[in-house]
């Protein structure tokens, strides 16, 4: 088999076989296929697409390029969730203890942030002592005993996807449905969960900017999951403004604590309860959405969810005092207020600009090697649809940097103020089962 023939075959709009896709991913992972040929192939896929069978085969080829996690020693239906990437997205921090509190085992494998979207592992590491590198025995025994554990992605999990993703990032081929779907699903399949809830984000802070594209991605991933015997549900959620009020790391942990105490922002609480509901339904705890949603809300109200968060932090080696004393989490030296330039209603908060501004303040990485400042981030004071007067504080930048002019300009430009009240927005667009 020759790579050039497979590029030509796809260029002619033909369907690649399982063996041909395996040849490409295996060759690229091992280095026998060079970057320039892989780049050409990715661009052909970007324009010609792939059918569902090809996408499933690509997913499997990524899975088979590295290690697979064996969770068979864990009792019950193991559930996992994955977000396609957002700004202020702290849903995992909320749903892990919440779902575990119902007795459903949550086996969570998470990544770090890159670019304008944050990563759950970075957020958790803002808690003193919190360990995200667990050996597999501890991971499994924590799930059996406490029904929850989280680990960072191991170096050899789906290396084919890792190498391809890095190439896509610099060759303009990230926002392609077959390539995103196979990339996300390969990591979920390799991490061994039986059931997966996908949070597909749509809007200015997401890879998918239109609802049609998000729905196509969601349907594709659900089909891949099913074809590989994983119970899969995708929830399409709004990412036209940052989720909740906090974007960063330590401040996002503070906000997750609020949600688990029943004092969270409406958008965040709704999305978290929806994702958690489907996780518990797939795990077999509840039969229907309404009873799941109601019961999870009651778990929050009863104080059981926040106690489970304390337990979660403790078993991962972290200082759980921060739950009762969130001010003990890292705080920034400078807190810079940004004011409204005119009166009116907040008609847009560009989530991607807020994500980039937070990264510039130190909350994210420009390159993989950058170190994160856990205290840095942004508080969104005024959300979409809120009324403001001139000079009202609309957001606060938290940083340890003396000069943050670029971040200030970026954050300020993310807010649009209109004299008319904008239409209400939906937090949840659709659920694909």
Binding residues for ligand URA (CB under 6 A): 84-85, 165, 174, 179-180, 183-184, 207
161 is catalytic: yes
* Nearest residue (CB) to ligand URA, 110 versus 316: 110
* Nearest residue (CB) to ligand URA, 162 versus 245: 162
- Measured from each CB, the residue nearest to ligand URA is 183
* Nearest residue (CB) to ligand URA, 100 versus 235: 235
Angle at 369 between CA 367 and CA 372, to 5 degrees: 85
Which one of 183, 186, 277, 353 is the catalytic residue? 183
Least gap, CB of 223 to ligand URA (angstroms): 17
Least gap, CB of 148 to ligand URA (angstroms): 22
The residue with tokens 């077959």 is 178
Which one of 80, 89, 122, 161 is the catalytic residue? 161
Which one of 10, 78, 81, 82 is the catalytic residue? 82
* Nearest residue (CB) to ligand URA, 85 versus 264: 85
Taking the CA atoms of 154, 82, 423 and 382 in sequence, report the sign of the dihedral they define: negative
**In the sheet where 334-339 sits, what is the strand order?**
246-248, 377-380, 393-399, 334-339
* Nearest residue (CB) to ligand URA, 65 versus 183: 183
Least gap, CB of 162 to ligand URA (angstroms): 9
Asked if residue 196 lies in contact with residue 232, where contact means CB atoms within 8 angstroms, the answer is yes
* Nearest residue (CB) to ligand URA, 184 versus 260: 184
Residue 328 is classified by DSSP as G
For 223, the 3-state DSSP assignment is helix
Helix (H) / strand (E) element for 11: namely helix 3-11
Least gap, CB of 184 to ligand URA (angstroms): 5
Which one of 168, 230, 231, 398 is the catalytic residue? 168
For 24, the 3-state DSSP assignment is helix
The residue with tokens 């068979």 is 72
245 is catalytic: no
The residue with tokens 């957020």 is 123
What are the C-alpha distances in Å from 128 to residues 14, 117, 213, 327, 338? 53, 22, 40, 13, 30
Least gap, CB of 101 to ligand URA (angstroms): 28
What are the C-alpha distances in Å from 127 to residues 119, 251, 324? 14, 11, 13
Least gap, CB of 176 to ligand URA (angstroms): 8
* Nearest residue (CB) to ligand URA, 84 versus 237: 84
For 51, the 3-state DSSP assignment is coil
Q: How far is Cα 218 from Cα 216, in angstroms, rounded to an integer?
A: 5
* Nearest residue (CB) to ligand URA, 59 versus 126: 59
115: left (phi over 0), alpha (psi -120 to 50) or beta: left
Least gap, CB of 183 to ligand URA (angstroms): 3
Angle at 42 between CA 29 and CA 50, to 5 degrees: 105
Which one of 187, 188, 308, 350 is the catalytic residue? 187
Phi, then psi, of 419 in degrees rounded to 5: -75, -25
Q: How far is Cα 29 from Cα 58, in angstroms, rounded to an integer?
A: 13
Helix (H) / strand (E) element for 150: namely strand 148-152
Least gap, CB of 181 to ligand URA (angstroms): 8
Burial 173-182 (b: 16+ CB within 10 A, else e): bbebbbbbbb
- Tell me the catalytic residues: 82, 161, 168, 183, 187
């Amino acid at each position: 088999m020759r790579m050039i023939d497979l590029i030509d075959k796809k260029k002619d709009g033909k369907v690649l076989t399982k063996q041909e896709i395996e040849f490409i991913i295996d060759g690229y992972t091992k280095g026998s296929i060079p970057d320039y040929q892989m780049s050409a192939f990715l661009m052909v896929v970007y324009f010609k697409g792939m059918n569902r069978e090809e996408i499933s085969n690509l997913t499997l080829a990524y899975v088979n390029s590295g290690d697979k996690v064996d969770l068979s020693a864990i009792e019950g239906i193991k559930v996992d969730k994955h977000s396609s990437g957002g700004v202020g997205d702290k849903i995992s921090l909320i749903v892990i203890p919440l779902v575990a509190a119902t007795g459903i085992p949550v086996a969570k494998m998470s990544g770090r942030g890159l670019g304008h979207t944050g990563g759950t592992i970075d957020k958790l590491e803002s808690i003193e002592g919190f360990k995200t590198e667990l050996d597999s025995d501890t991971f499994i025994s924590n799930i059996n005993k406490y029904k929850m554990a989280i680990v960072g992605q191991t170096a050899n999990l789906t290396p084919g996807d890792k190498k391809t993703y890095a190439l896509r990032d610099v060759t303009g081929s990230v926002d392609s449905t077959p390539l995103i779907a196979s990339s996300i699903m390969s990591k979920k399949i390799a991490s061994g969960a039986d059931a997966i809830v996908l949070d597909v984000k749509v809007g200015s802070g997401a890879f998918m900017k239109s609802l049609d594209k998000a729905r196509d991605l969601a349907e594709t991933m659900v089909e891949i999951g099913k074809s590989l015997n994983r119970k899969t549900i995708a929830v399409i959620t709004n990412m036209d403004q940052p989720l909740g009020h906090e974007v960063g790391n330590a401040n996002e942990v503070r906000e997750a604590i609020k949600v688990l105490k029943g004092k969270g922002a409406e958008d965040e609480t709704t999305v978290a309860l929806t994702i958690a509901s489907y996780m518990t339904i797939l795990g077999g705890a509840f039969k229907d959405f309404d009873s799941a949603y109601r019961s999870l809300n009651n778990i929050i109200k009863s104080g059981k969810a926040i106690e489970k968060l304390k337990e979660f932090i403790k078993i991962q080696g972290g200082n759980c005092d921060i739950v009762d004393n969130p001010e003990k989490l890292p705080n920034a030296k400078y807190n810079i207020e940004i004011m409204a330039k005119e009166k009116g209603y907040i008609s847009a908060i560009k989530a991607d600009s807020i994500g980039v501004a937070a990264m510039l303040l130190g909350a994210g990485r420009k390159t993989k090697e950058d170190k994160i400042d856990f205290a840095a981030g942004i508080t969104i004071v005024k959300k979409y649809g809120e009324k403001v007067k001139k000079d009202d504080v609309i957001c606060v930048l938290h940083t340890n940097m003396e000069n943050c002019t670029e971040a200030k300009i970026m954050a300020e430009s993310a807010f649009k103020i209109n004299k008319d009240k904008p239409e209400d927005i939906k937090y949840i667009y659709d659920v694909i089962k």
